[in-house]
Structure formats: structure tokens, C-alpha cells
């Protein structure tokens, strides 16, 4: 409510809980934010500085039940070849499915879905990818988006790549086998027969997530040169199992967790899907810890993977853009065309000062050549050892016409497991804000001589 003497707002909070709460107001004409519980620029974090709402009693939470059916109708009209036996100028389809959500406790939820469809949500943007790596697309399907933070286990380099042990878009992905014919008819996505998950947080501070999904065997059709129509399996019956547990300590200033994933495929006996692994497992532990008055942060993770399959499947992984085992000068790699399994590990450790005018720290990441999590996760690089650091000074008080400024230095270097230097780089940057709300800055980088093993394709 806005009145002449000011503004007011009200909110209702359910259940007997302690709520973190803060209120902010943006004044656009002044480029200013005002907070009820002050959020200072020299202090890292938002939730940790919030106030607390206590004293709510005798509120009985309702039993949560939500049923969300859906129907998707598709239609297309486009010119097609008169020789194409699978398509006509006008085509249409109709599919049904639904989501169910049941509250087991006030903080623990059972969710299930039948035949979820990418048509429920907006389409992905068009991307021109000229690299050897797969494009990462964010999840948008409601069943997989809700509670996704519990299943998060990132293994990336903080570069926005989306790498992690679990990538929900593997479930319902496009069929992986292509058909080589004059005309083909292959489903655009794999049917999800069903999926269920239990996720939430217990009163003891444990965050729990368990997910199971089953996708159907998909068949494609192909017209041969002599006019015959052949049917081939393009994606096998596949089950995905994911488990995640973590716990906060010291009022959220420390945490530790565990995650495991498993993928099982029924490949059949025709050999057309022998390039896929039939079993894939990955798991890891992670932690974070704030200390020295929450000014310093120590965090890290350690993970491993093991995949099994036909020799064609493991050879495909060895020769993929993640590792290129077939390089003739890579003596540290065990290129084995007869292998039926591949195992690897990876880890990260970071130590950073996150509060005050001076901030910075150091970190390191390793991924062995055999690390492979792409069956249930997302990964674009292996066979790497990376060290990095940064040092930054931030000035938060006015200095003449300048309201504040930052200046930083970011060195980094990486090698493969054969100690071939892949990159060495130093970045120097600064930015500032004037009292009239104008901004400015510049950035410069120096890259030193290195060898790109990823360009050898």
C-alpha cells in the first residue's frame, strides 16, 4: 500500500518455523536500493544478513496435493518431397500427460510425472555451435525444475558451462542413433514412461533428493534405395537413478553432501546401439565451510565415474572430443580399442577471502582422462589439471567524482595429465561508477604460448 506518508506491505507466513526475512526498495531515479536489514557491499551474502521472523504458533499446515494434467496439440504445414513415404504436407499429433505432487511432510514432497513433454514449455533458442562440444540447454519442464537445487552438483570451472553430475535433460533426450537412408522418420525426443522423486528438507537440517525415471525404447523408420522400409531401434529402454543428500552445519555456514547417479540401458542384440554404454555410474562428495568470521571460504568436491559397454562404446568415448586418446604423441593415455570399461576421477579445492575491501584466493581442479559423466550428467572436458587465483581490491566510498571502483588480477594455467601446457593466462581488469550513475571499465588479457590438444580434430 502506498500513501502520502509512505508505503506499507504485509505478508503471511505459515507453520511453526523460523523465517529469514528482508525487505528491499529500489529507487530507480537515484539508482539506489534500500534494505530493512542492511546489505553492505563489503559483506558477501544476502541470506546470512536477513532478519528472523519468530513466534508463529498453532498453525496446522494443510495436506498438499496437486494434480496437473496437460495436453499438447501439434500441427505443421510444409512442402515435402513426393517420394517421402513418411511425411505429408500437413501433419498433426496430440499427446497427454500430467504431474502429481503430494506433500509427505511440511518440507518433504513426493512428485511424479507421466509422459512429460518439451511442448509444455517454451522452445530452446537457436544456437550455432562451431565447437566440438555439446551445447548446454537449461531445463524448463516443471517436474524437473522444481526442487532442482537439491540435485545440483556442479563440476564446472565457474564459466557457465552447466557441467555437473546430473543433467535432467538427459531424461527424454533426442534419440542418439541416426539412420542413413534417403528418407527417415525418427522421433524428436524419447518418451518418458514415468518419473518420480522425493525431495525436500528434514527438521534435522538434511536435504534429501531421490529420483527415478524410465524412458521408452524408440523406433525409427528408414526408406532404402530400393524402396523398402526398415525399422530400427534408435534409443534403448533406459532407467535413470539419482540420489542426493546434504546437510548444513553452523546455521548454514558449513555444509557437506553426497551424490550418486546410475544409468542402465537395455541395448538388445542387433548391434545397432553398441556405441552406447549399457551401465554408467558416477558419484561424489562436496563441502563448503566459512570461517574467520565468515570472511574466508573453503570449498571443494571429489567425484568418480565408471562406465561399461561394448568395445565400440568405450572406443567412442576414448576418441571423443573430451579426451582424444588416439593422439599419437599422448603417451600418458591408454588407448585400447578392446576395452569394455572406462573409469576416472575429478576434484576441486578452493580457498577464498570473500569479505572486505581486499578479496581473493587460490584454487585448483583436476579431471583424469577417464572421467565420464555424460550418461546422466553434463561434461565437456577431461584430462586437465588447472590452477587459478584472483586478487581484487574494492573501494566502496566516494572518492571525488567516483562513487566506487574495483580492480583485479586473475592468473590461471592448465596442463593435461602428460604435463603438456594447455594454457597460461593473466587478466587485469577494473571498473568504476561515478556519482552521476555513469559506469566505466576496461579489461586486458595476456595469453602465453601453449598447446591446444582440443584443436587436434
Within-domain flag for 146: yes
Within-domain flag for 454: no
Total residue count of the chain as it appears in this document: 457
> Residue 117 phi/psi, 5° resolution?
-135, 140
Residues 258 and 375 in one domain: yes
From CA 367, how far away is CA 161, in angstroms rounded? 15
410 neighbors 441 (Cβ within 8 angstroms): no
- Among 319, 350, 382, the domain boundary falls at 382
Beta-bridge partner residues of 210: 198, 243
109 neighbors 102 (Cβ within 8 angstroms): yes
Residues 44 and 140 in one domain: no
Whole-number pLDDT of residue 387: 96
Biggest CA pair distance of the chain: 84
C-alpha cell recorded at residue 371 = 572421467
- Among 382, 413, 441, the domain boundary falls at 382
Residues 55 and 113 in one domain: no
From CA 189, how far away is CA 127, in angstroms rounded? 18
Within-domain flag for 402: no
155 CB burial (10 A radius; 0-12, 13-18, 19+): buried
Structural domain of 66: 62-382
Residues 255 and 221 in one domain: yes
Within-domain flag for 401: no
Within-domain flag for 426: no
Residues 55 and 187 in one domain: no
In terms of Cα–Cα distance, which of 200, 196, 136 is closest to 169?
136
Cα–Cα distances in angstroms (integers) from residue 315 to residues 16, 49, 133, 191, in the given order: 57, 52, 18, 28
Residues 95 and 133 in one domain: yes
Residue with cell string 496437473? 68
C-alpha cell recorded at residue 72 = 499438447
Domain count, the chain: 2
Beta strands in 31-104 (DSSP E): 32-35, 51-53, 65-77, 90-103
What region, left, alpha or beta, does residue 264 occupy, with left being phi > 0 and alpha being psi -120 to 50 degrees? beta
> Residue 139 phi/psi, 5° resolution?
-75, 140
Within-domain flag for 362: yes
Whole-number pLDDT of residue 127: 84
Residues 89 and 221 in one domain: yes
Within-domain flag for 393: no
Residues 68 and 52 in one domain: no
Residues 134 and 56 in one domain: no
373 CB burial (10 A radius; 0-12, 13-18, 19+): buried
From CA 247, how far away is CA 208, in angstroms rounded? 9
From CA 212, how far away is CA 242, in angstroms rounded? 7
Within-domain flag for 3: no
Residues 49 and 155 in one domain: no
pLDDT of the chain, 457 residues: tens digit per residue: 566 666 666 666 555 566 778 888 888 877 788 888 888 777 777 777 787 777 666 566 677 888 888 888 888 888 888 777 878 888 888 888 888 999 888 788 899 988 876 655 667 788 888 888 888 888 888 888 888 899 999 998 766 678 999 999 999 999 999 888 888 888 888 999 999 999 998 878 899 999 999 999 999 998 887 778 889 899 999 999 999 999 988 878 899 999 999 999 999 767 789 999 999 999 999 999 999 988 999 999 999 999 999 999 999 999 998 999 998 888 899 999 999 999 999 999 999 999 889 999 999 999 999 999 999 999 999 999 999 999 999 998 888 899 899 999 999 999 999 999 999 999 999 999 998 889 999 999 999 988 887 775 5
- Among 382, 412, 432, the domain boundary falls at 382
CA angle 3, 7, 10 (to 5 degrees): 120
> Residue 50 phi/psi, 5° resolution?
-70, 155
Give buried/exposed letters for 97-127 (b at 16+ CB in 10 A, else e). bebbbebeebbebbbbbbbbbebbeeeeeee
Residues 21 and 167 in one domain: no
Give buried/exposed letters for 42-55 (b at 16+ CB in 10 A, else e). eebeeeeebeeeee
Which residues are CB-neighbours of 59 under 8 A, at least 6 positions away? 14, 15, 16
From CA 415, how far away is CA 170, in angstroms rounded? 30
Residues 172 and 317 in one domain: yes
Amino acid at each position: 500500500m502506498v500513501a502520502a506518508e509512505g508505503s506499507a506491505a504485509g505478508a503471511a507466513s505459515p507453520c511453526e518455523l523460523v523465517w529469514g526475512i528482508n525487505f528491499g526498495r529500489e529507487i530507480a531515479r537515484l539508482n539506489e536500493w534500500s534494505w530493512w536489514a542492511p546489505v553492505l557491499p563489503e559483506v558477501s551474502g544476502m541470506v546470512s544478513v536477513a532478519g528472523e521472523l519468530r513466534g508463529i504458533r498453532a498453525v496446522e499446515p494443510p495436506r498438499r496435493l496437486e494434480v496437473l494434467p496437460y495436453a499438447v496439440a501439434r500441427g505443421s504445414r510444409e512442402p515435402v518431397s513426393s517420394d517421402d513415404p513418411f511425411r505429408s504436407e500437413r501433419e498433426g499429433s496430440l499427446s497427454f500427460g500430467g504431474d502429481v505432487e503430494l506433500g509427505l511432510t511440511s518440507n518433504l514432497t513426493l512428485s511424479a510425472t507421466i509422459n512429460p513433454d518439451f511442448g509444455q514449455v517454451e522452445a530452446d533458442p537457436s544456437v550455432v555451435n562451431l565447437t566440438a562440444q555439446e551445447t548446454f540447454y537449461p531445463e524448463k519442464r516443471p517436474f524437473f525444475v522444481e526442487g532442482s537445487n537439491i540435485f545440483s552438483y556442479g563440476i564446472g570451472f565457474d564459466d557457465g558451462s552447466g557441467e555437473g553430475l546430473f543433467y535432467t535433460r538427459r531424461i527424454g533426450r533426442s534419440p542418439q542413433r541416426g539412420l542413413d537412408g534417403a528418407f527417415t522418420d525418427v522421433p524428436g525426443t524419447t518418451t518418458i514412461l514415468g518419473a518420480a522423486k522425493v525431495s525436500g528438507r528434514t527438521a534435522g537440517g538434511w536435504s534429501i533428493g531421490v529420483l527415478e525415471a524410465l524412458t521408452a525404447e524408440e523406433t525409427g523408420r528408414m526408406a532404402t534405395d530400393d524402396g523398402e522400409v526398415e525399422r530400427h531401434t534408435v534409443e534403448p529402454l533406459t532407467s535413470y537413478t539419482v540420489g542426493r543428500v546434504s546437510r548444513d552445519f553452523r546455521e548454514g555456514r558449513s555444509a557437506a553432501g553426497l551424490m550418486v547417479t546410475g544409468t542402465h540401458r537395455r541395448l538388445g542384440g542387433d548391434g545397432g546401439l553398441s556405441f552406447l554404454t549399457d551401465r554408467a555410474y558416477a558419484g561424489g562428495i562436496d563441502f563448503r565451510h566459512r570461517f574467520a568470521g565468515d570472511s574466508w571460504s573453503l570449498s571443494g568436491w571429489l567425484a568418480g565415474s565408471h562406465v561399461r559397454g561394448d568395445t565400440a562404446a568405450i572406443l567412442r568415448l576414448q576418441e571423443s572430443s573430451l579426451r582424444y586418446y588416439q593422439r599419437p604423441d599422448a603417451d600418458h593415455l591408454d588407448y585400447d580399442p578392446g576395452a569394455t570399461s572406462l573409469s576416472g576421477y575429478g576434484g576441486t579445492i578452493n580457498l577464498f577471502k570473500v569479505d572486505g575491501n581486499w578479496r581473493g584466493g587460490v584454487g585448483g581442479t583436476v579431471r583424469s582422462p577417464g572421467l565420464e559423466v555424460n550418461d546422466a550428467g553434463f561434461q565437456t572436458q577431461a584430462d586437465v589439471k588447472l590452477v587459478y587465483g584472483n586478487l581484487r581490491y574494492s573501494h566502496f566510498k566516494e572518492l571525488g567524482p567516483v562513487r566506487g571502483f574495483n580492480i583485479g588480477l586473475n592468473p590461471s594455467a592448465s596442463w593435461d595429465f602428460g604435463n603438456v601446457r594447455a594454457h597460461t593466462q593473466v587478466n587485469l581488469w577494473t571498473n568504476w561508477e561515478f556519482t552521476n550513475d555513469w559506469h566505466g571499465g576496461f579489461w586486458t588479457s595476456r595469453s602465453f604460448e601453449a598447446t591446444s590438444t582440443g584443436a587436434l580434430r
